[in-house]
Amino acid sequence: MARNSRARDLSGSPSLQPEQPELAELAEPTEECDPEALGRQICLRLLTLAPRTRAQLGDAMRRRGIPDEAAESVLDRFTDAGMIDDAAFARAWVDSRHHGRGLSRRSLSAELRQRGVDAEDISVAVEGVDPDQEVATARGLVERKLAATYGQPHDARVRRVAGMLARKGYPAGLAFRLIREALEHEGSDLEDLPEPDGD
């Protein structure tokens, strides 16, 4: 009887239950007294998920309250070890987002700036997409979008293609020139198509 009563006390009394840490606490590093150790844990966890820039990792540590001096020390160590390489990040980003999404050099530059990549690394990375390649990519986007909208009202097709190119960072002049070329190729009426501005 006493044994059953004690079992009920252990399972039912909040005062006798062993404290259970929250799941979020289990995932936290334990080196709270060492900002650099905590910073390393934060960076390693993020880098395990995906490549990150130095600025992104620095922002993550600041949000967690890591002092600037400790954060810079961690970032320097990771950079020296080759675990942070903004130039390589930028090149990989440009290759993936241009070939995979068809983004223009202007859009790619803006995305890299948002991720804290410096201007020199951005410039070198986007130079990997030469102007002819950028035009060829835009032309392919136009052709695919026009093919997908064939049979729809002419104005709607033009608006959709132009809007798609604008969202990917291509200038209006280039967009309308390529749209005009593609519509001419398919024999569509170009009477109401706006004249392209200068690129």
| Lowest pLDDT segment from 21-35, 47-61, 70-84, 115-129 | 21-35
The letter for the amino acid at 175 is A
CA dihedral 154, 157, 160, 165 (to 10 degrees): -110
Query: Which position has the higher pLDDT, 16 or 74?
Result: 74
Return d(Cα 67, Cα 64) in angstroms, integer.
9
- Specify the pLDDT at position 82: 94
**Domain coordinates in residue numbering, the chain:** 30-84, 86-126, 131-186
5: pLDDT strictly greater than 50: no
- Specify the pLDDT at position 19: 43
Q: Which two tokens stand for residue 137?
A: 């990519």
Closest by CA to 178, choosing from 62, 20, 51, 190, is 190
Provide the CATH topology of domain 30-84.
Arc Repressor Mutant, subunit A (1.10.10)
- Specify the pLDDT at position 6: 44
Query: What is the DSSP code string of 78-116?
Result: HHHTTS--HHHHHHHHHHHHHHHH---HHHHHHHHHHTT
